[in-house]
Amino acid sequence: MTTPLRLGIAGLGTVGIGVVKIVQRHANTLARRAGRPIEIVAVSASSRGKKRGADISTYAWEDDPVALARRDDVDVVVELIGGENGPAKALVEAAIAHGKDVVTANKALLAHHGQSLALAAEEAGRVLRFEAAVAGGIPVIKALTEGLAGNRIERVMGVMNGTCNYILTQMEATGQGYNALFEECARLGYLEADPNLDVGGIDAGHKLSLLAAIAFGTQVDFDAVELQGITDISLDDIRLARDMGFSIKLLGVAQLTGRGLEQRMTPCLVPASHPLGQLDGGTNMVVIEGDSVGQIVLRGPGAGEGPTASAVMSDVMDIARGLRLPTFGEAAANLLEAPAAVVSSAAPWYLRMTLLDKPGALARIATVLGESGISIDRMRQYSHDGAHAPVLIVTHRAASDDIRHALERFAATGVLVGAPVAMRIEEV
């Protein structure tokens, strides 16, 4: 009889129970596809008596997740606890130390400790897999490590937080402001316990740092990700962008340049006609550009019980089949320490500001832009009240340092009312 692959699952929240349901519901199919049975033998969670919507009574129970990692009858530890430190980190370290393979959905853990954990796993001859940590049900890790392994990856970009995309698309669709939609997301349970992980771009930044490591053969460097959330995006920005043929997205972009590794998770304008611009609701999308394949687009659900559990099971199935890849697609000891690129590559920019409605005000702004090496592609002045004049400027391609320099100098012109808004227009 073929030896079963025995799982120990730590964390029985939405995703953990989703994994239990898949194993129970599709046991025969999984066994046929893997060439061996997949069994759950033990579980661990913070509360034993909680009703969970799946029968776990036949599995051994461990109050301490680290004890799960020490069990002789567990081959693979599935970590679904979450958090960058604490029990999740202790569990993964113990699992590797006790000769277990690990599957995790924990983006924060890997964004902060991925290099050290990958080294430990590979030195111990274990595998550490994390398909579910990035973009939910979209198999983007597999795409990079397997399907596109013959390409030099030139750029990775995407919308990787469904909550932010839901807010931005609902602002456009309903005319509601950010605050109202934030409260709606809180009521619907779309927000993390710390909402800033979502709306501040941190959650998506974790994911981007993991994709960058795989795409460019570099060590995970989340601290170098430029982060800016969506809290300052106004309805005016949404409407003006649409008027010019753009949509605003919280967009992650990573690319390796001569200056180093660029990683940014910031609000950007993208063409409304591009698949990124058409992405609605809580869906995620990742765009990968390779030197041989060109541009490919991966779209799908970025969260939820079924999609994320599906991604967890894809890693489990690979282990059951005997596929053993390095954590980030190549040996962790060989991953480069790429310098962070502090100057983003040039791009057009969207600038929105309100000026005092007086002669020469716009000329002063244009002078500052010219002296900063920035040329104007198009400009619109919207209806004004006799005191204030809203102005929208789209620049030709400009470096972010030049844009920052111009914004700093705007204050000295004496014609600006409030702070200007600046967003990159990503060339997709």
Catalytic residue among 89, 107, 207, 249: 207
Q: CA end-to-end span of the chain, whole Å?
A: 52
Alpha helix stretches (DSSP H) within 79-124? 86-97, 107-123
The strand ranges marked E within 272-404 are: 283-290, 294-301, 349-356, 376-381, 388-395
Rounded to whole angstroms, how far apart are CA atoms 48 and 40? 16
Q: Are 271 and 204 in contact (CB under 8 A)?
A: no
Q: How far is the C-alpha of 161 from the C-alpha of 135, rounded, in Å?
A: 8
Residues 6+ apart with CB under 8 A from 170: 176, 181, 184
CA distances from 209 to 112, 134, 164, 202 (A): 10, 10, 18, 11
Backbone angles phi, psi at 302, to 5 degrees: -95, -5
What Rg, from alpha-carbon coordinates, does the chain have? 24
The verdict on whether 207 is a catalytic residue reads: yes
* Residues taking part in catalysis: 207
